[in-house]
């Protein structure tokens, strides 16, 4: 972490300000955890803080401390617009490009003359932030938030609530400390957070063991649709709109499904293709093992991006055509795929 970034950050938060903390569209555990953790920390320093998300988040995150005060742009565009113009300082967490907010919200931020600070762990950050704390080598934004507080020498400000939020972000973005981005330092940080009051087992339970009956039925359908291509070390799943409707699909229900493909022995690349008839697109998530770069794959072929081992994208083709395109592409990556492990 760069010293001058921390100094600049320290200066910005040294006096009470009107602060917004903003996460990305379709917020996940890291977006909610890092934003709420950072917001509660800032509030303890005397700042006026509002947390804004572009749209709603899944039910399994409704246990998060103070999440009930999150303002959704999708439901309150006017009040958010006012908050943005009244703000002195805007933190954007867990994303690095306004396009991750959706068009309308992005426009509001583009026209703001607030000071922006980015804290994020995705590849290729945009240049809108005065202070840009961008570290793709980190497993989660929540871990980066912890490092900021650590380098600011303010660990004493981490109470049970802040600790629980940050633990959530680290836990969800590292697949419960499984992904390669998990380091000795990650465990060290988790240990500090537990000491500060985060209840590891309880947080795991509240986050992961909160499935609905319908979600498990949908997982069953997804597993029925699982395809395995050993010659490309690849497995993929699809869900049609019809299959999701039949199983009463709720936001967040397919979270983690893609990892089942990756759990097959020898599989290096896994994908899930979900039909979205509302937006008339196919939503795609990619996961990989080893050094096979799904960020590059998603950026080059599916209008997306993310990290080396986890990325997302979309396609305007039909579900069937999208999967055909994907399978067709694999040939060009065959050597890379079979050498990644």
- Encode burial over 310-324: b for 16+ CB neighbours within 10 A, e otherwise: bbbbbbeeebeebbe
Q: Select 48 or 204, whichever has its Cβ closest to Mn ion.
A: 204
Q: Select 30 or 255, whichever has its Cβ closest to Mn ion.
A: 30
User: From residue 14, how far is each of 130, 155, 204, 234 by CA, in Å?
Assistant: 16, 16, 35, 50
Q: Select 174 or 247, whichever has its Cβ closest to Mn ion.
A: 174
Q: Could you say whether residue 275 binds Mn ion (CB under 5 A)?
A: no
Q: Could you say whether residue 30 binds Mn ion (CB under 5 A)?
A: yes
Count of chain residues binding Mn ion (CB under 5 A): 4
Residue 22 CB, nearest approach to Mn ion (Å): 14
Candidate ranges 14-22, 134-142, 250-258, 308-316; the one touching Mn ion (CB under 5 A): 134-142
Residue 120 CB, nearest approach to Mn ion (Å): 8
At 223, give phi and psi (nearest 5°).
-70, -35
Residue 40 CB, nearest approach to Mn ion (Å): 18
Residue 331 CB, nearest approach to Mn ion (Å): 31
CA-based R_g, the chain, Å: 20
Candidate ranges 48-56, 135-143, 268-276, 310-318; the one touching Mn ion (CB under 5 A): 135-143
Binding track, positions 206-235, relative to Mn ion; x by CB under 5 A? ------------------------------
DSSP codes joined into one string, 307-327:
-SSEEEEEESS-HHHHHHHHH
Q: Select 141 or 221, whichever has its Cβ closest to Mn ion.
A: 141
Q: Could you say whether residue 253 binds Mn ion (CB under 5 A)?
A: no
Q: Whose CA is closest to 273, among 212, 213, 226?
A: 226
Q: Select 30 or 161, whichever has its Cβ closest to Mn ion.
A: 30
What residues between 78 and 117 interact with Mn ion by CB under 5 A?
Answer: 94
Segments in the chain forming alpha helices (H): 3-12, 29-44, 77-86, 103-110, 141-151, 160-173, 184-195, 200-208, 213-224, 241-246, 257-262, 294-301, 319-339
Token couple for 305? 């991006």
Q: Select 94 or 243, whichever has its Cβ closest to Mn ion.
A: 94
Residue 141 CB, nearest approach to Mn ion (Å): 5
Residue 309 CB, nearest approach to Mn ion (Å): 12
At 56, give phi and psi (nearest 5°).
-70, 160
Q: Whose CA is closest to 269, among 301, 227, 304, 225?
A: 227
Q: Select 94 or 275, whichever has its Cβ closest to Mn ion.
A: 94
Q: How many CB atoms lie within 10 A of CB 154?
A: 15
Q: Could you say whether residue 120 binds Mn ion (CB under 5 A)?
A: no
Quote the CA–CA distance of 157 and 160 in Å, as a whole number. 10
Candidate ranges 24-32, 224-232, 259-267, 269-277; the one touching Mn ion (CB under 5 A): 24-32
Quote the CA–CA distance of 338 and 240 in Å, as a whole number. 29
Q: Could you say whether residue 173 binds Mn ion (CB under 5 A)?
A: yes
Give the residue nearest to Mn ion (CB). Answer: 30
Q: Select 144 or 162, whichever has its Cβ closest to Mn ion.
A: 144
3-state secondary structure of 51: strand
Residue 135 CB, nearest approach to Mn ion (Å): 11
Q: Select 50 or 173, whichever has its Cβ closest to Mn ion.
A: 173
Residue 60 CB, nearest approach to Mn ion (Å): 16
Token couple for 18? 């009107």
Q: Which residues bind Mn ion (CB under 5 A)?
A: 30, 94, 141, 173
């Amino acid at each position: 972490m760069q010293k001058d970034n921390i100094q600049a950050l320290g200066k910005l938060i040294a006096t009470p300000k009107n602060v917004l903390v903003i996460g990305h569209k379709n917020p996940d555990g890291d977006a909610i955890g890092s934003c709420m953790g950072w917001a509660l920390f800032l509030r303890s320093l005397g700042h006026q803080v509002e947390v804004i998300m572009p749209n709603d988040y899944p039910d399994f995150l409704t246990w998060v401390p103070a999440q009930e005060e999150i303002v959704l742009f999708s439901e309150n565009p006017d009040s958010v617009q006012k908050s943005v113009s009244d703000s002195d300082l805007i933190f954007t967490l867990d994303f690095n490009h306004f396009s991750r907010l959706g068009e309308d919200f992005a426009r509001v931020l583009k026209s703001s003359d607030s000071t922006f600070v980015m804290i994020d762990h995705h590849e290729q950050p945009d240049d809108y932030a005065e202070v840009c704390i961008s570290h793709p080598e980190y497993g989660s934004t929540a871990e980066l938030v912890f490092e900021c507080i650590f380098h600011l020498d303010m660990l004493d400000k981490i109470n049970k609530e802040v600790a629980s939020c940050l633990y959530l972000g680290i836990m969800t973005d590292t697949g419960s400390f499984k992904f390669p981005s998990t380091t000795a330092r990650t465990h060290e940080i988790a240990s500090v957070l537990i000491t500060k009051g985060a209840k590891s087992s309880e947080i795991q339970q509240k986050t992961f063991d909160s499935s609905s009956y319908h979600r498990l039925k949908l997982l069953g359908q997804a597993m029925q649709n699982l395809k395995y291509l050993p010659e490309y070390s690849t497995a993929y799943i699809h869900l049609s709109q019809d299959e999701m409707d039949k199983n009463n699909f709720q936001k967040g229900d397919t979270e983690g499904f893609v990892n089942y493909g990756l759990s097959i022995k020898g599989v290096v690349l896994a994908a899930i293709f979900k039909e979205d008839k509302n937006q008339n697109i196919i939503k795609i998530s990619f996961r990989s093992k080893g050094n096979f770069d799904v960020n590059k794959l998603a950026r080059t072929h599916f209008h997306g991006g993310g990290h080396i081992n986890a990325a997302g994208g979309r396609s305007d083709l039909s579900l069937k055509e999208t999967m055909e395109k994907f399978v067709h592409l694999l040939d060009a990556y065959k050597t890379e795929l079979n050498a990644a492990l």
